[in-house]
Structure 1
Amino acid sequence: MADAGRSTRLNTAYAVIDSYSSLSSEAMLAPLAPEFTHQVLPESLGMPARDRDAFGAHSTRIFSVFSRFAMVPQAVFEDAAGNAVVVHAKMVGELVGLGAWENECVLMMRMTDDGSKVVESREFVDSAKANLLREKLTAKMNEDGAKVVDA
């Protein structure tokens, strides 16, 4: 939710954070610039960099395995000179058929010149938890005969 006391850049970052709980790729894409790119880190997870369209498809797949999800900011830092916002957040939710889920991440977002859209997001996640999620989803998808989702 926009806050008149925050910069446009911070309001955009909070729009991204809030969009996660919508479980809607349309809501997720709204604060992203057409030239948006996304990368999950560390690179050792082997997750590809994604453009805006690929990120939308990826978020649709991820959202499909959650009945509830939220990004809960722990700390938010604005870098006005670098036109960026960094968010340390807890990711909490409920996996369909698998129970509660929690992870932790640092989102590094670079904005358009006016701060109204995100052009780049680098998301550093707890790799042990990301691999655990991948294992849980692989097992569940194999049981259901469905395609495995990249966590």
Structure 2
Amino acid sequence: MASTGSAQKETLNKFISGWKNANAEEMLAVASDDYTQQTLPFSLGHDVRPKQVAEVMLPKLYSILENYELKIHQVVHDVENQKAAVYAISKADTPFGFPWLNEFSAFITFNNAGDKVVNVQEMVDTEFFQKFFPAYQSFLSQNK
């Protein structure tokens, strides 16, 4: 169990490093081939997204976040259940004038070896999400 725990911790640190650097490639480097991601709460109605979608969406999102900062407030790591939870706040400027200020928790699941992330469920600030993403979608459609 100790070696699996060490592998999970190393994987988690790599994932968080990519997150802090707003670097999707770095984050997804530790994602398994069958990786999935889902935005929570369920009431938002978002489907589970496969890795292939995250590989397109994350770089696009990070590309518009200027002066990005991520502050981690809490990390809980449960080796036995192959999970970690991260509570964080990120902030950034955007080219369309809507400030990015997202308070959220990420629930991360590791594979059996602990060297890959197989799933991330991200509980977002719904008030922010419901205001930001229509503005973001409008920006994307105007800047194709």
The normalised TM-score by structure 2 is 0.84
Cα distance between partner residues in 2 of 1:21 and 1:67: 13
Greater fraction helix: 2
Task: Kindly indicate whether residue 76 of structure 2 is the aligned counterpart of residue 67 of structure 1.
Answer: no
Cα distance between partner residues in 1 of 2:115 and 2:45: 30
**Structure 2 partner of 1:94:** 93
Cα distance between partner residues in 1 of 2:134 and 2:37: 23
- Please tell me whether the aligned partners of residues 84 and 107 of structure 2 are also in contact (alpha carbons under 8 angstroms): yes
The 5 A counterparts of 1:1-151 are 7-98=6-97, 100-141=99-140, 145-146=142-143
Percent identity of equivalent pairs: 22
Secondary structure of the corresponding residue to residue 7 of structure 1 = helix
Q: Which runs of 5+ in 1 are unaligned?
A: 1-5
Secondary structure of the corresponding residue to residue 107 of structure 2 = strand
| Number of residue pairs matched by the alignment | 140
Amino acid of the residue matched to residue 84 of structure 1? K
The normalised TM-score by structure 1 is 0.81
Q: Which has the higher mean CA deviation after the structures are superposed, 21-30 or 101-110? A: 21-30
Q: Which has the higher mean CA deviation after the structures are superposed, 119-128 or 94-103? A: 94-103
- Please tell me whether the aligned partners of residues 18 and 70 of structure 1 are also in contact (alpha carbons under 8 angstroms): no
Secondary structure of the corresponding residue to residue 36 of structure 2 = strand
Amino acid of the residue matched to residue 92 of structure 1? K
- Please tell me whether the aligned partners of residues 14 and 26 of structure 2 are also in contact (alpha carbons under 8 angstroms): no
Moved over 3 A (4+): 21-24, 138-142
Cα distance between partner residues in 2 of 1:75 and 1:14: 13
Q: Which runs of 5+ in 2 are unaligned?
A: none
**Structure 2 partner of 1:3:** none
Cα distance between partner residues in 1 of 2:6 and 2:69: 23
Q: Which has the higher mean CA deviation after the structures are superposed, 106-115 or 92-101? A: 92-101
